[in-house]
Amino acid sequence: MAMGAPGPGSPSPQEPAPPPPKRSSSAKGVPPATDLVLGATAGCLACFLTNPLEVVKTRLQLQGELQAPGTYPRPYRGVLRAVGAVCRADGLGGLQKGLAAGLLYQALMNGFRFYCYSHAEDAGWTRYPGGTVAAGAVAGAVGAFVGSPAYLVKTHLQSQTVAAMAVGYQHHHENIATAFRSIYRQHGVVGLWRGVTGAIPRVTVGSAVQLATFASAKDWVCERQWFRKGSWSAVLAGGMVSSVAVAVAMTPFDTISTRLYNQPVDADGTGKLYRGFLDCILQISHKEGLLGLYKGIGAVYFRLGPHTVLSLFFWDKLRDLVRD
């Protein structure tokens, strides 16, 4: 979950995190427009710190694309060894590839997601049974759609590397600006939203699962007296426990999203490898096995936990500043 920034006491998007819980009386006076700015800022701060794991995750998910297990070279093996492989191929700066596009994605996705959720909250929709999860899922879908062009470019840039370590299709963009120009000139405005059919389910599922598990996971570690209730360590532990469920639920959608965004296309913008979301699922399952949908799950997990906690921390502190 390119997943998102949560509200106080709620989970983190990458890229998908659930929205903040209902505002308490102390949080009143923070309008949706302000939530847009604060959500975007919190997501960007978390993205800067977790982007290296997003690079690793992208490479792992593209490795061995549509090839049977054991029939292809594996330059990236596991999270830690993949980090070393990226550094050897692209230098230390390679771990921050696609950072500008990632920051733009977080700003757009989280900003609009929190903006929509705030409106739903103000309208009282979250007071109905299941309303919080439904509002978070809808807000996540809107955010995913708005941020899709930035996620497309981010995926292209993060997959680029030297030929010996290349996995997936190589688009050869020089930077974020040339990437947007190239895609627009070749395929028009519609081309910028290629792959969005994989992004919307990804963020929707990630937000819903995270929202349903984060609070209970945090309470669970406190009930066992591992950490003091309300402590930073309890939030971190809760985020990491919750991230297990989120990673299991979201990784297949994350892999599909990465593949759809990165695949080569014809002159008319039609994908050369996958016809769409369902075709991507079927092809991966048939040629790589069901476990092919879970490529990069380690990187997804280790990114989601810290991203959840960091987003929560930044969001909470920014809201405190606004209220003060």
Residue 88 lies in a domain: yes
Contact 307, 12 (CB under 8 A): yes
Judged against a pLDDT cut of 90, whether residue 63 lies above it is answered with yes
Contact 299, 221 (CB under 8 A): no
- pLDDT value at residue 28: 52
pLDDT digit string, tens, across residues 170-224: 999 999 999 999 999 999 999 999 999 999 999 998 877 876 777 778 888 889 8
The Cα 209–Cα 247 span in angstroms is 9
Number of domains the chain contains = 1
Residue 15 lies in a domain: no
Residue 16 lies in a domain: no
Mean pLDDT of the chain: 86
Residue 9 lies in a domain: no
Residue 53 three-state SS? helix
Q: What is the CATH number of the domain that holds 109?
A: 1.50.40.10
Q: Which phi and psi (to 5°) does residue 230 adopt? A: 85, -5
Residue with the larger pLDDT of the pair 311 and 130: 130
Residue 8 lies in a domain: no
For every residue of 123-190, DSSP letters joined together read TTGGGSTTHHHHHHHHHHHHHHHHHHHHHHHHHHHHH---GGG--S-----SSHHHHHHHHHHHHHHH
Residue 1 lies in a domain: no
Contact 166, 124 (CB under 8 A): no
Judged against a pLDDT cut of 80, whether residue 241 lies above it is answered with yes
Residue 239 lies in a domain: yes
Mean pLDDT in residue range 249-262: 96
Q: How confident is the model at residue 22 (pLDDT cuts 50, 70, 90)?
A: very low
Residue 266 three-state SS? coil
Range of the domain at 303: 32-323
Mean pLDDT in residue range 237-255: 89
- pLDDT value at residue 323: 72
- pLDDT value at residue 233: 83
- This prediction has a pTM of 0.85
- pLDDT value at residue 5: 42
Cβ-proximal residues to 282 (8 Å cutoff; 6+ apart), any chain = none
- pLDDT value at residue 312: 67
Residue 23 lies in a domain: no
Mean pLDDT in residue range 27-35: 70
E runs forming strands in the chain: none
